[in-house]
C-alpha cells in the first residue's frame, strides 16, 4: 500500500464496504512507532492484563504480519512494552495493534514498526500465560479474524477479508 492512503482505498472500494468485506476500525487508537503506514496479514490474540502470549508471538518470525491483540480494552496496565516491540521489529513484524495499553513509549517510538494502542500506562501486566491464540476478536466495533488483512496509516485502520491490490 505504498502511496495509497486508507481514505483512497475506501473511496475506491465502496462495494467491498457495503458488502462488509472491507471495514474501518473506530478511531480510538493512538499512533506509536516510527512506521506510521503498515499493512499485512493478521494474527489474532485475545488476552486480559497478561502479556506472556504477546511476547511468545513476537519471538516468532513475523514475515510482514500484523499482531492484533484484544486486551479487553483494559486501561489498568500495559500489555506491551519496549523489549517485545524491539524483538518484533527485529523479527520482521509489520505492526502491532493493541486494544489496551503499552509502556516504554520513547523506546517504542524509536522502533521501525507500526504500533497502535489505546494509551500508555506505567504498570506492567501479569505473567500467567492465559489467553487464546488465532481466535476472532472484536475491537473498535469490528470483528477481526486470523488471516484477514490490516491496512493502517495516519487516517485510520482498515480490515479486509482479502489482500487488496491497490
103 is in an annotated binding site: yes
Q: Is residue 111 part of a domain?
A: yes
For residue 48, give its domain range: 6-160
Q: Is residue 1 part of a domain?
A: no
Domains of the chain: total: 1
Q: What nine digits make up the cell of 89? A: 521489529
Q: What is the pLDDT along the chain (166 residues), one digit of tens a residue?
A: 446 799 999 999 999 999 999 999 999 999 999 999 999 999 999 999 999 999 999 999 999 999 999 999 999 999 999 999 999 999 999 999 999 999 999 999 999 999 999 999 999 999 999 999 999 999 999 999 999 999 999 999 999 999 987 5
Q: Given this model, what pLDDT does residue 152 score?
A: 97
**3-state SS assignment for residue 131:** coil
104 is in an annotated binding site: yes
Q: Is residue 63 part of a domain?
A: yes
Q: Is residue 89 part of a domain?
A: yes
Q: Is residue 165 part of a domain?
A: no
146 is in an annotated binding site: no
Q: The CATH number of the domain where 109 resides is what?
A: 3.50.30.40
CA 164 to CA 13: how far, in whole Å?
10
Per the rule left: phi > 0, alpha: psi between -120 and 50, beta: everything else, 104 is left
Q: Is residue 10 part of a domain?
A: yes
Q: Given this model, what pLDDT does residue 1 score?
A: 40
Q: Is residue 116 part of a domain?
A: yes
84 is in an annotated binding site: yes
Would you give the end-to-end CA distance of the chain in angstroms? 6
Q: Is residue 22 part of a domain?
A: yes
Q: What nine digits make up the cell of 73? A: 480494552
* Residue matched to cell numbers 473511496: 11
CA 103 to CA 81: how far, in whole Å?
5
153 is in an annotated binding site: no
72 is in an annotated binding site: no
Amino acid at each position: 500500500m505504498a502511496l495509497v492512503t486508507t481514505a483512497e482505498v475506501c473511496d475506491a472500494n465502496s462495494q467491498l464496504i457495503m458488502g462488509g468485506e472491507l471495514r474501518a476500525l473506530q478511531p480510538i487508537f493512538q499512533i506509536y512507532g516510527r512506521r506510521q503506514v503498515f499493512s499485512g496479514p493478521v494474527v489474532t490474540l485475545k488476552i486480559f492484563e497478561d502479556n506472556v502470549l504477546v511476547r511468545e508471538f513476537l519471538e516468532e518470525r513475523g514475515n510482514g504480519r500484523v499482531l492484533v491483540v484484544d486486551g479487553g480494552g483494559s486501561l489498568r496496565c500495559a500489555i506491551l512494552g519496549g523489549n517485545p516491540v524491539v524483538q518484533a521489529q527485529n523479527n520482521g513484524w509489520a505492526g502491532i495493534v493493541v486494544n489496551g495499553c503499552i509502556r516504554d513509549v520513547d523506546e517504542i517510538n524509536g522502533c521501525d514498526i507500526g504500533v497502535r494502542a489505546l494509551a500508555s500506562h506505567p504498570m506492567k501486566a501479569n505473567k500467567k500465560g492465559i489467553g487464546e491464540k488465532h481466535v476472532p476478536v472484536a475491537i473498535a466495533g469490528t470483528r477481526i479474524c486470523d488471516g484477514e488483512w490490516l491496512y493502517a496509516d495516519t487516517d485510520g485502520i482498515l480490515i479486509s477479508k482479502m489482500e487488496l491490490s491497490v
